[in-house]
Structure 1
Amino acid sequence: MFPHIIGNDVSHHDLSNALSLALSASQTQSNILEDGDLFSKTKETHNMELIQLDPNPSRDYESLNFRDAAQLSSHFQSSGFDAAYCHFPVEIYLIHQQDTWSSLNVSRDMICILLDRYILGPGFLHMLACFRDRYLPTEEGFSGAPQTIISPGRSEFGWVYKYSEKKDVRFGNPWRIRHTGIYQVHDHVRGKSVLIIVSPSPTAHFTSYLRDTLRQSQFRSILLANPMVIHTMLISSHLYSWRGYLEYQETLLIKLDMQSACTALEDPLVSFDTLKEVRVIEKHILPIEQITNSFYMQLDGLQRAFEQFVKASDADQGLQLPIRAAIEQFRSDATSYKNQAMHIFKKTQSTAQSISDSLNLTYQQLAQSQNRNTFMMATSARDDSIAIRAITLVTSFYLPFSFVATIFGMNLVDFDSQSRNLAVSNQMWLYFVISVPLTAVTLLCWRWRMRIYRQGYGMEDMKSQDDTKSLRSNSDIEMV
């Protein structure tokens, strides 16, 4: 939170310069305004709406739309500073994104004109930085600290409110975490309040609710008396939705928990996908604690800003009690939602552990079954080995006899019946000349074939190692 700066011996201009120097506002402004993901590059979508409340609450509000910086600048130049600044006691600027992950539908020049027009502090740009273009769901649990600047005759208060909202989808999770920002500048001397509201979409629920409220004269009179009520309107329009968000997640979790409780080893109802679903619920519950803690801090800042507003502007004391009571009620409701979220979070951990135990037991049973099959295969292989060894021994016993019988059965060896002697042909050498080279060629072919197999296995191993290195290199993300 920016420090409260209170003094009576310096002007607002000097105080603003001192604060800018202390907070390095010029560097912050340059960094944020040069962010290419903050402002939409499509000029056709640029739109900034201005709602002006007349001092007479019986008159309806006036609405203007600016499509570019030229129109906004022309409006300020034609109306003049003092006349436009004092005639409408409350001015509300509406800025929006195309959707939650898109950039703002305004240009950088339009924001710069607002900065110069109302001499906005650096907290306004810090608030805007939460609405840049994204391609990943980052900062789900980040709301930022309330931006508060209090100086003689002028106060600024801004914050980003995170809430859940149900989206109309055909399938899947309909709940989303979105945010809306409000930055208010109040001139206590002129009795003038300027509010800049940044919404996540052109049809955001709060902006529609605000327009409907401003169409009723009795509510316009309340907002003219105390524009700080708009902050509590934003909270009340979305705070209750956390109950539906948590109920949806808890319903999914109970179904998964029942599957885990009813599963059996013979017919398992859970799988690794079931565990993944539980982890998804856990991921959706996880940011709520941080969002709630930031919300407490924002409520404290809102209460201090409201007290300063009442003190400096001599607002109707009758409006203090309802707003203070509303802030306390918001705090109590947020605590109940936080406690429920922590209960569901612990329940997801218990369910995940139960599913993991069921999966481990199933895997152990599968491993035991595989071990039994392996044992049976080993026993069968042992029996086959014994049989083959017996056959080998018998074959080895008869092999010399078969070789001798083959030699004697050849035409190169004959038995002389008269002399009863063996007669060996002079061409007996042909048998060895042909057999020995043929055996050598057979062995060489076998060796060549085995070498090709080994080379193929080696190439597959090298390819596997290269793929592993590639995966490791792709998984290294350089954080800047």
Structure 2
Amino acid sequence: MLETIVDTHGIDSSFWELPSCFYQRDDDFEDVFCVPYTLVRKESVIEISYTLRYPEHKANGEWAIRQSGIYHQMDFSNSRSLFIIFNPTPRSKAHCEVERALRDKSLLIKREPFWLHRTLFSVYSPSWRDYIRSLERRFLPIANTAFATFIDEPLRLNYDNLSALSNLEIRFLQISTIVESTTEAIDGLCLLFNELSRPHSEGQDLRNICRKCLVSSRTATHLKNRVQTMVRLLSDTLLLRDQIVANKQNTNMFQLNKSAVFITTLTLLYLPASFMATFFGMNFFDLDQENNRIVGSPTIWIFIVASTVLTAITFLFYYWLLHRDGVVFRKLVPKVPDLKLQTLRRQWTNLTQGDVELQRMEC
């Protein structure tokens, strides 16, 4: 169908860039790409094409970044205009508004060749304010909590909040990039207005919309800077808190080491006496009261040989364990979950799911 329309009306090949932007996608690529404002002149024919991205509030309460495409051919030889609109969903807002305008006999749209552009921008541009406000509502509670946090008290923020702030930072950066493409398209239309010497009132509405877009872009940039400041503050707070906890743990370990040294010293102090008491307390020795002397048992060699063999076996076993690269020792250590890895995995999962819900396109 599109090929038939293109051949019938002699549309330039640059037109095919518009439908190339509408396809089913599951990943977040080309999330801010917009076909730039394109102007093609052929004798008495002027062709205009571009895509427009905007936020849309879905029925489930979530926001989605959608796009619409528009192609406009003006033929001054017969005073006719050809419009082709690409909508992301059936019965979109712009589609309904265009149908209403075409059915309203009181609107003299034939006298305004640029009325469809104005309708498209006027329908979708105001939604940026609501979208930015929804993101700001998610940001302010985290910001207020971060400012009211004290190092010496339990923290009410964690790495999940840091992930949420990073996600908001990406959203605000996305807004600035998309709105910049919108303002470039409006500027191109305004220049064409002036070139064609159209009435001043026709271009005034678009210029007002352009100013509102600039305000939205500045607001998003301001909030992005605030989020970046909050990310640094929260990162430094969590890092400082971790350092405080690490210092406390080091202090406890130092106390434990001092206790271990003290116990080891006592062990070394009492070990010789304990050994001598144990050794002479065995039945290998006896006191000959008649001759006033100590009599040794002839089987004492059993104790000496057994002790020597057991000591040698102990040292050989320890030497074998050391040359096993500590595999046995590591298995004996209690398993501690890698909290850092689990936290990063949870943050990446939350970020990926949030991006998919927000930026999934429906064609």
Q: Report TM bin, short chain.
A: 0.7 to 0.9
How far did residue 257 of structure 1 move? 1.0
Which residue of the partner structure matches residue 333 of structure 2? none
Counterpart Cα distance in 2 of 1:200 and 1:125: 16
Alpha-carbon deviations, 1:406-462, whole Å to 9, x = none? 4336xxxx97989x997987xx6xx7589747954774477357636853744999x
Counterpart Cα distance in 2 of 1:416 and 1:208: 122
2:277 paired with 1:277: no
Which residue of the partner structure matches residue 201 of structure 2? 322
Q: How does 1:100-179 map to 2 (within 5 A)?
A: 110-169=1-60, 174-179=62-67
Which amino acid letter does the alignment assign opposite residue 188 of structure 1? F
Say if 1:161 and 1:446 are closer, same or farther in 2 by CA, change over 3 A.
same
Which amino acid letter does the alignment assign opposite residue 135 of structure 2? Q
Counterpart Cα distance in 2 of 1:336 and 1:366: 45
Counterpart Cα distance in 2 of 1:415 and 1:458: 55
Q: Alignment partner of 1:115: what SS?
A: helix
Which residue of the partner structure matches residue 181 of structure 1? 69
How far did residue 295 of structure 1 move? 2.0
Say if 1:406 and 1:139 are closer, same or farther in 2 by CA, change over 3 A.
same
How far did residue 193 of structure 1 move? 1.9
Say if 1:390 and 1:446 are closer, same or farther in 2 by CA, change over 3 A.
closer
2:186 paired with 1:299: yes
Counterpart Cα distance in 2 of 1:344 and 1:287: 12
Say if 1:228 and 1:439 are closer, same or farther in 2 by CA, change over 3 A.
same
2:272 pairs with one of 386, 393, 400: 393
The runs of 5 or more residues in structure 1 that have no matched partner are 1-109, 312-316, 462-480
Alpha-carbon deviations, 1:61-101, whole Å to 9, x = none? xxxxxxxxxxxxxxxxxxxxxxxxxxxxxxxxxxxxxxxxx
How far did residue 244 of structure 1 move? 0.9
Counterpart Cα distance in 2 of 1:178 and 1:454: 62
Say if 1:226 and 1:397 are closer, same or farther in 2 by CA, change over 3 A.
same
Counterpart Cα distance in 2 of 1:424 and 1:138: 90
How far did residue 254 of structure 1 move? 1.5
Question: Normalising to structure 1: TM-score of the pair?
Answer: 0.61
8 Å contact kept, 1:246–1:341: yes
Bigger relative contact order (CA 8 A; separation at least 6): 2
Q: Alignment partner of 2:324: what SS?
A: helix
Which residue of the partner structure matches residue 349 of structure 1? 228
Identity of aligned residues (%): 21
8 Å contact kept, 2:48–2:72: yes
Q: How does 1:2-401 map to 2 (within 5 A)?
A: 110-169=1-60, 174-219=62-107, 221-222=108-109, 224-264=110-150, 265-307=152-194, 310=196, 320-398=199-277, 401=280
Counterpart Cα distance in 2 of 1:447 and 1:113: 89
Which residue of the partner structure matches residue 464 of structure 1? none
Counterpart Cα distance in 1 of 2:296 and 2:264: 44
Say if 1:459 and 1:286 are closer, same or farther in 2 by CA, change over 3 A.
farther
Which residue of the partner structure matches residue 51 of structure 1? none
Which residue of the partner structure matches residue 38 of structure 1? none
8 Å contact kept, 1:155–1:187: yes
Q: Which has the larger radius of gyration?
A: 1
Which amino acid letter does the alignment assign opposite residue 235 of structure 1? F
Say if 1:457 and 1:306 are closer, same or farther in 2 by CA, change over 3 A.
same
8 Å contact kept, 1:416–1:422: no
Which amino acid letter does the alignment assign opposite residue 188 of structure 2? G
8 Å contact kept, 1:416–1:423: no
Which amino acid letter does the alignment assign opposite residue 77 of structure 2? V
Q: Alignment partner of 2:71: what SS?
A: strand
How far did residue 143 of structure 1 move? 1.8
Q: Alignment partner of 1:266: what SS?
A: coil
Counterpart Cα distance in 2 of 1:401 and 1:248: 85
Which amino acid letter does the alignment assign opposite residue 383 of structure 1? F
How far did residue 238 of structure 1 move? 1.0
Counterpart Cα distance in 1 of 2:288 and 2:272: 32
The runs of 5 or more residues in structure 2 that have no matched partner are 331-363
8 Å contact kept, 1:262–1:269: no
How far did residue 249 of structure 1 move? 1.6
Q: Alignment partner of 2:24: what SS?
A: coil
Say if 1:252 and 1:416 are closer, same or farther in 2 by CA, change over 3 A.
closer
Aligned residues: CA RMSD: 3.2
Say if 1:407 and 1:354 are closer, same or farther in 2 by CA, change over 3 A.
same
8 Å contact kept, 2:284–2:296: no
Q: Alignment partner of 1:387: what SS?
A: helix
How far did residue 234 of structure 1 move? 0.2
Which residue of the partner structure matches residue 324 of structure 2? 455
1:407 pairs with one of 284, 294, 301: 284
8 Å contact kept, 2:39–2:48: yes
